Amino acid sequence: MDVDYQGNKNLLEEAQKGQVSKFIYFSVLNASQLQHLKVVEAKELFVQELKQSGINFMVIRPNGFFSDMSEFFHMAQKGKAYLFGKGGFLANPIHGHDLANFCLENIDKGDVELDIGGPQLLQQNEIAKQAFEVLGKKPKIGYIPIWVKDFLLWPVRLTMPSKKYGAIEFFMTVMAMDMVAPKYGIHTILGHFESLNKTN
């Protein structure tokens, strides 16, 4: 709430004072299904503020970023990746460069909310295997039953400050569901993993 809501609200108030003509905000894909999560609750509370502000707005709802997918690479580096269910959940995360181009292409539109994802729709199994492939390792994937997610989140919710818990809650929830958005862009997950491998 301090950042995703109040911090952005402060920026919005400054934008109003400065007579800014357009405010672009990034929320999350499938927000309507995820509003019970602390992070999404705060983001969507700000979206409502933005809509009522009178400023021309664009709300972008991207799928996961390539930077989020780096966790697959780090798990592969450690020798084993862990996925919920059977690893069949789908996602098409987007590269930051492609997302920037998408914003520029749509910047002249009026008040609008847009979902967007990357060009490849992949199962989590496929993403993990690409990480192992780049590292030259044989894929080793462990599967975690979905019910374990809720079992793990319960004590975390009780013992951890909401600032830390919110991010964990969000990550674990979206890893256990399909996150599919309209396809856009040219950058691939494999290319991202290859870039990570060069810098490690």
Q: What is the pLDDT of residues 38-68, one digit of tens each?
A: 889 999 999 999 999 999 999 999 998 999 8
pLDDT in tens, 76-117: 999 999 999 999 999 999 999 999 999 999 999 989 999 999
What's the average model confidence in pLDDT over 157-168?
A: 74
Please, are residues 118 and 183 in contact by the beta-carbon 8 Å criterion?
yes
Beta bridge partners of 57: 23
Tokens 């983001």 belong to residue: 43
Instruction: Work out how many domains the chain is built from and give that number.
Output: 1
pLDDT for residue 6 is more than 80 = yes
What's 112's domain CATH number?
3.40.50.720
155 or 22: which leads in pLDDT? 22
Please, are residues 189 and 59 in contact by the beta-carbon 8 Å criterion?
no
Span of 9-13, 161-165, 184-188 with lowest mean pLDDT: 161-165
Which of 117, 120, 119, 107 lies closest to 57, judged by CA?
107
pLDDT in tens, 123-162: 999 999 999 999 999 999 999 998 888 787 777 777 777 6
What's the average model confidence in pLDDT over 71-77?
A: 96
- Rounded to an integer, what distance in angstroms lies between the CA atom of residue 198 and that of residue 156? 35
Domain region containing 144: 2-199
